[in-house]
Chains A and B, each alone.
Chain A
Amino acid sequence: LFAQDEDFRLIDKFLAGNIESFEQLLRKYRKEIYYFAMRLLGNPEDAEDVAQMAFVNVFRSVKNFKRQSQFKTWLYKIALNLCLNHLKKNKVTQTEELDYTIASEEDMSLSMLEKEQRHELLKAIQELPEKQRLTVILRTYQDLSYQEVSRILGCSEGAAKANFHFALQKLKKKLSKVYGL
């Protein structure tokens, strides 16, 4: 709630003409939104474009923001729509590319087996049906609550939980060999 109030305060300041508050909001969420787009699109350049457009669209229409939801979920929703539009146009998600952009310093410490496991994990997530994939990404990578996930995806909390559960079941089936469980 504190974070939400803080965002609303910054929006008010921005609407009153304070450019610094716009910068603050941008700095606060830019990494989250970029990484989110990156996980969905798998390509750093496209993710950068989407992040840019998401912020531009958000700040351009912020005066119409009704504040019935958090600023963060609204921002995510806009970024998500941009990503989905992009995916529709390009019809490819580059798992391979995503794999390469994973932190290289971390890469050094991983064994071949771990790298293979990680690759399989990313591939399996990319192969999930859209809603399930989005739920997994928002819930695990982006660390959002079910309530936030449901608002972003425009579904009930129960549906978000069900999506996540079914996604896990599918992943478990696919990855049981990889993880040896």
Chain B
Amino acid sequence: MDCKKIQRTISELDDFNLQSLNPTLKKHLSVCPSCSDHFKWVENFYRNLKSVSLSDPGEEFWERLNRKVQIGLMVGGLKGAKRGWWTYRPPSWVKMPAFACGIAAAAVVLLIAFGGVSLQQWLGLKGSSTQVELASRLGGAGSYTQEGAETLSCPDLDALTKEELHACVRRLISNGLETQEFVEWTGDPIILAGSEVTVESNIRHLGSKELERLSYLLNQKYPQ
């Protein structure tokens, strides 16, 4: 009998129960050590592979997968390799520093929440800054912010009501300081008639980062 053929037949078996083998094969295995060894090896291989099970990620994972599939079907944008922001995973070289930053940020939040440290203290800002001081700290000495605040003699931001300030900052940030939109903004009835020009001129000098910080501070001062 051709041992090569026999060994190939063994590789293709579905069931390694000796009793269920066909009689010719069974007889050959009993007399041929090479084929018998092959049979044992394949049987052992199957058993080993089947014993290697992957860990179950848990019900929460499966439910998340369900939701992701449903979202994918609804938004209709997942075809191809393009990923949405919610599926973005940073490369490993970003993970460690990002983790460290996360820990540091959490520590700061805890310090502010429970340690009696205010955000102003954390940022190095004193409690009741004048607008010039505030602008200087936000933008740095000699910055457009400071210059704008000093030269335009605009009214103190404190003079505006809470709603007006929030509206200004929200509008500024959402408009991204685009000139055209700015013109529209100046006509906004939210701005007080008398301080319309000065407020617009002053804030126009702020960069987007400065505005973000200003918005943050204003939110601290006048929580929504």
Contact = CB atoms under 8 A, between A and B. Distances in A.
Interface of A: 23, 26-27, 30-31, 34-35, 38-39, 44-45, 48-49, 51-53, 55-57, 59-60, 85-86, 89, 98, 101-106, 117-118, 121-122, 136, 140-141, 145-146, 161, 164-165, 168-169, 171-172, 175-176, 179, 181
A102 B53 CA distance: 6
B38 to A, nearest CB: 8
A181 B44 contact: yes
A60 B68 contact: no
Contacts of A56: 69, 72-73, 78-79
Contacts of A34: 57, 65
B83 A49 contact: yes
A176 B45 CA distance: 11
A168 B54 contact: no
Contacts, number: 105
Interface residues of B, number: 38
B52 A55 contact: no
28 contacts: A34-B57, A39-B54, A45-B89, A49-B87, A52-B65, A53-B72, A53-B78, A53-B79, A55-B69, A55-B72, A56-B78, A57-B79, A59-B69, A59-B73, A60-B79, A89-B81, A102-B53, A103-B55, A103-B56, A106-B53, A121-B48, A141-B52, A146-B12, A168-B42, A171-B45, A176-B41, A179-B41, A181-B40
B213 interface: no
B158 interface: no
Mostly helix, strand, loop or mixed at chain B's interface? helix
B156 interface: no
B124 to A, nearest CB: 40
Given A103-B53, A140-B46, A168-B11, 4 more contacts: A56-B78, A141-B49, A168-B42, A181-B37
A101 B55 contact: yes
A34 B44 CA distance: 26
A30 B40 CA distance: 34
B66 interface: yes
A146 B14 CA distance: 9
B55 A102 contact: yes
B62 interface: yes
A38 B51 CA distance: 16
A54 B44 CA distance: 33
B50 interface: yes
Contacts of A101: 54-55
**For the complex of A and B, 10 pairs with smallest distance between CB atoms:** A56-B72, A165-B11, A103-B55, A55-B69, A140-B49, A52-B68, A181-B41, A161-B12, A168-B11, A56-B78
Contacts of B52: 102, 118, 121-122, 141
B79 A52 contact: no
A21 to B, nearest CB: 14
Contact of A165 (B12, B53, B79): B12
B26 interface: no
